[in-house]
Amino acid sequence: MANPRILELRKQLRRENLDGILLTNLNHIRYICGFTGSAGALVVTLTRADFLTDSRYTVQARKQVKGARVTTVAGEAIGGLGELRSLQKKHLRLAYTPSTVTVAQRERIQELLPEALLVGGDDLVKELG
């Protein structure tokens, strides 16, 4: 069964002319997919959703995450972004939450997704609730 919050988020993405969103705020992640751990990132595109976490949280994520594929990555969750084929697109417009992403993390995201245009999207999840 499809996750209704992910479906709503996709509507928001379409309205804003975005291809996807990277969520790193743990409160947003919990609200959207149900994960209650303390390390992870959720990527929602128009066609799929992926939850990235390290091996400490794989079992928990597989039990809790609703509506997203769980992928275990080595190191920081955003390090797995480059492996997601859904993000390997020229001129990708990817929203992210600047309020919870450090400058170093933003630079790393841009390095992993060199074709992406990163767009601030702090309000996209807030508008759902």
Rounded Cα distance between 28 and 41, Å, is: 10
pTM of the model: 0.92
CATH 3.40.350.10 for domain 4-123, yes or no, is yes
Burial of 58 (0-12, 13-18, 19+ CB in 10 A): middle
Highest mean pLDDT among 48-62, 68-82, 87-101 belongs to 48-62
Average pLDDT over residues 70-75: 91
Rounded Cα distance between 109 and 117, Å, is: 10
